[in-house]
């Protein structure tokens, strides 16, 4: 058994949780700036980061004011979007382009979060989709240069792959 992916994903999940909870009031609700969402770009570099991101989302969503809904819709949105990103990698080889596609996919799928907030607390669906999508787009777009710079320093593939 290779311990490297387990350790890398555990650290990733912990980072996702800490970053999310550090700014918790801005990570939930109709205006969201969940900075930890930039970690979603890690699957662009290597699909083996999928479990760490999902685990981070699951644990973070336990702290949500609408946890029962967030554990379904929030986790579901992440799973769907990450799987699309992983599938995209089969056809698009350019990492930067995959990151832009990932940003668009996560932005569009925020309709699931808008639906969650509509069902859970009665927020208007379309306006909530607009505001949550805008926050997701901003975070994911800002995350592109951050993740590219980090990758140049630490090489994400080396963090999770066998030598």
Distance CA 133, CA 98 (A): 18
Give the pLDDT of residue 28.
67
Give the pLDDT of residue 142.
98
Distance CA 107, CA 130 (A): 9
Cβ partners under 8 Å of residue 1, min gap 6: none
Range(s) of the domain holding residue 77: 3-160
Give the pLDDT of residue 34.
87
Provide the domain count of the chain. Answer: 1
CATH number at residue 20: 1.10.1760
Using one digit for the tens of pLDDT, what is the confidence trace for 106-159?
Answer: 999 999 999 999 999 999 999 999 999 999 999 999 999 999 999 999 999 888
Could you tell me the two tokens for 126?
Answer: 């379309």
Using one digit for the tens of pLDDT, what is the confidence trace for 15-73?
Answer: 999 999 998 776 666 778 789 999 999 999 999 999 999 999 999 999 988 999 999 99
**pLDDT over threshold 60, residue 2:** yes
């Amino acid at each position: 058994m290779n311990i490297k992916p387990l350790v890398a994903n555990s650290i990733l999940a912990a980072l996702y949780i800490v970053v999310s909870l550090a700014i918790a009031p801005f990570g939930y609700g109709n205006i969201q700036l969940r900075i930890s969402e930039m970690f979603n770009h890690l699957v662009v570099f290597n699909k083996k980061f999928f479990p760490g991101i999902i685990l981070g989302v699951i644990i973070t969503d336990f702290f949500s004011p609408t946890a029962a809904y967030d554990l379904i819709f929030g986790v579901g949105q992440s799973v769907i979007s990450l799987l699309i990103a992983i599938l995209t990698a089969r056809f698009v080889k350019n990492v930067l382009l995959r990151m832009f596609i990932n940003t668009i996919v996560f932005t569009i799928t925020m309709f699931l979060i808008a639906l969650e907030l509509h069902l859970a607390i009665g927020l208007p669906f379309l306006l909530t989709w607009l505001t949550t999508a805008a926050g997701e787009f901003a975070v994911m777009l800002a995350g592109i240069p951050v993740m590219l710079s980090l990758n140049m320093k630490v090489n994400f593939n080396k963090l999770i792959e066998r030598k």
